[in-house]
Amino acid sequence: MRRAWFVSALVVLLVAPFHAGAEETPARFAVGFHGLPPGLHVGDRFHGGRIVAVNEALRVVSVVATDPAGFQERARSEAGVRYVEPVPQIAFLQFVPDDPGYATQYGPQQVGAHFAWDRTLGSTSVDLCVADTGVRYTHEDLADRYTSGHDYVNNDSDPWDDHGHGTHVSGIAAATTDNAKGIAGLARVSLSHAKVLDATGHGSWDVIANGITGCVDAGAHVVSVSIGGETGATVLEDAVNYAWDHGAVVVAAAGNGGPCGDCVEYPAKYANAIAVGCTNALKGLCPFSSSGPEVDLVAPGTNVESTWFTADTAYRFASGTSMSTPHVAGVAALLKSWSPTLTNADLRSALEAQAEDLGAAGPDDDFGSGLVRADRVLGAPQTYTGRLLAGTAGVAVPCSPDLCPTFGSIGYGGLSAMRFDILPASGRAYALTTSGTYGHADADVCWRDADDQPVGPCALNPFLPDVGAVPVGAVKAEVRLTVGADATYVLTIDP
Ligand SMILES: [Ca+2]
Ligand SMILES: [Ca+2]
Ligand SMILES: [Ca+2]
Ligand SMILES: [Ca+2]
């Protein structure tokens, strides 16, 4: 519903309809090849058009042609050409900041970052690349984070922000936390940038694809893309797949087209992008958040304060799935900082498996797997309240073999079993402690993957607190614990 763009104070991922121009109007095309022919350079003529960019990673050239229909016909007939697609200039963004006095920062708190920061604030060996309108890298809260970037709009090495959106997005993910200035970003990592949208928020999919591949070629572990359009392009999907195949996590805004049932935008809609929807300060769904089966996670996106591009001390509030996306990208970078050996598949699996379920039980089209949770994915100390497997809380029942697989038959009559589903970080060792009448009860610990399937054998009767390392691939532990007649047992994990 486009009218929503103008009646709500949201950051809107704006997609103007593509108007087919008159035949003589120059048009831009992405020409993909099965194998890039040698000798194609910027400035060369190509089937009557002019090459304006070459992306060797995706084997695609961008061509501006003054005879669009004829160019398409000629180019498509060339052997070795995989696709010829128009890539019109689209207005992706319309930035409408919220009232600065309205709200305070709540995003890091909602995703549990303050617990995760007890583990790490982030590592500069992890690179988070934002593809957007540029970044004010001299900003007081970004200067210590920024490392490098490129401007794919103006073809220079200076991705200075002439719009504002990119600086805002960058600060949410990576403003310097704990520096007594401005705001807290999610992860104190290295920040790089690909400027892919111009000063008016316009861009085209081939330029955005160039930015995404450029981020990855420069070493990005996480690429944050707060850009969305209702139609995609082969060159864009190829760029997302290229990033994934080269080990990077791509996080993208689901879009601000809601309420709707099936309106997730591109590139978030692609399988290899993590599509991020929006929650408000009460963990409710933002009314503008695009819903659909492709939504993977949600994160704070209403009245989010972040760095602003007008001055090195400027900050501003804004709303949109554009703001939600860097929350997830930041948490991914934080987890990579804490567990550097995790692959992009590990990172994505952890983010989704350990999300906080919201809305309808289980994954759903509004919230995906749920709210991203930094504390859970980093295995920060948390407490879990168990649920009794049998009987009545506070009333002891015999611990049968069914309830307690290994020790159920060896005594402890009068004790009961309690189940805790904990969400550890793979590859880390944990100590478990309990509070309750029997502080060091026996326990069976069985590790499960994201589909609740067993990972390796159960840890049989491990006397707490020595559980050992969590197997790689395990995202959940089922702990069955002998407990007394006490309904208030709490289990604490401490990696
Ligand atoms: Ca520039
Ligand atoms: Ca700060
Ligand atoms: Ca998805
Ligand atoms: Ca749900």
Cα 433 to Cα 114, 148, 440, 495: the distances in Å are 22, 45, 7, 11
Contact between residue 289 and residue 277 where contact means Cβ atoms under 8 Å apart: yes
Q: 158 CA to middle of ligand 2, Å?
A: 24
Closest to 304 measured CA to CA, from 284, 285, 320: 320
Q: Any bridge partners for residue 13, and if so which?
A: 93
Catalytic residue among 47, 62, 127, 132: 132
pLDDT, position 409 = 38
Question: Distance from CA of residue 192 to its chain's centroid?
Answer: 16
Q: 171 CA to middle of ligand 3, Å?
A: 25
Closest to 128 measured CA to CA, from 29, 31, 230, 225: 225
426 is catalytic: no
Q: Quick one: which ligand is closest to 251's CA?
A: 3
- In SS3 terms, 28-58 reads as EEEEEECCCCCCCCCCCEECCEEEEEEECCC
246 is catalytic: no
Give the residue carrying structure tokens 């860097």.
Answer: 326
Q: Any bridge partners for residue 356, and if so which?
A: 371
pTM of the model: 0.72
Cα 193 to Cα 127, 135, 158, 360, 414: the distances in Å are 10, 7, 9, 37, 62
Cα 225 to Cα 10, 130, 185, 240: the distances in Å are 17, 6, 17, 10
Q: 272 CA to middle of ligand 4, Å?
A: 21
Per-residue pLDDT of the chain (495 residues; tens, 9 = 90+): 333 222 222 233 322 222 333 345 789 999 999 999 988 999 999 999 999 999 999 999 999 999 999 999 999 999 999 999 988 777 655 333 333 332 467 888 789 887 788 778 999 999 999 999 999 999 999 999 999 999 999 999 999 999 999 999 999 999 999 888 889 999 999 999 999 999 999 999 999 999 999 999 999 999 999 999 999 999 999 999 999 999 999 999 999 999 999 999 999 999 999 999 999 988 999 999 999 999 999 999 999 999 999 999 999 999 999 999 999 999 999 999 998 999 999 999 999 988 999 999 899 999 999 999 998 888 755 445 455 555 554 454 555 555 555 544 333 444 445 555 555 444 444 555 554 444 334 566 667 776 767 777 776 655 544 455 566 666 566 666 554 444 344 444 444
Contact between residue 254 and residue 246 where contact means Cβ atoms under 8 Å apart: no
Catalytic residue among 139, 150, 163, 165: 165
Count Cβ atoms within 10 A of the Cβ of residue 324 and give its class: 0-12 exposed, 13-18 middle, 19 or more buried: buried
What tokens appear for 252 in the block? 């993208």
* Residues listed for the chain: 495
Distance CA 198, CA 340 (A): 34
Q: 208 CA to middle of ligand 1, Å?
A: 15
Contact between residue 115 and residue 374 where contact means Cβ atoms under 8 Å apart: yes
Q: 160 CA to middle of ligand 1, Å?
A: 5
Torsions phi, psi of 325, nearest 5? -55, -50
pLDDT, position 401 = 57
pLDDT, position 456 = 75
Cα 268 to Cα 59, 419, 457: the distances in Å are 22, 37, 37
Q: Tell me which H or E stretch contains 165.
A: helix 165-174
DSSP summary character for residue 371: B
Spatial neighbors of 361 by CB under 8 A, at least 6 apart, are none
Neighbours of ion ligand 3 (CB under 5 A): 275, 294, 296
SS3 79: coil
pLDDT, position 404 = 56
Q: 174 CA to middle of ligand 2, Å?
A: 9
Count Cβ atoms within 10 A of the Cβ of residue 245 and give its class: 0-12 exposed, 13-18 middle, 19 or more buried: exposed
Q: Quick one: which ligand is closest to 266's CA?
A: 3
CA quadruple 472, 476, 480, 484: dihedral positive or negative?
A: positive
HSE-up of residue 324 (Cα within 13 Å, Cβ side):
40
What tokens appear for 461 in the block? 């009767």
Give the residue carrying structure tokens 């007890």.
Answer: 118
132 is catalytic: yes
Q: Tell me which H or E stretch contains 85.
A: strand 81-86
Q: Tell me which H or E stretch contains 275.
A: strand 273-279
pLDDT, position 476 = 62
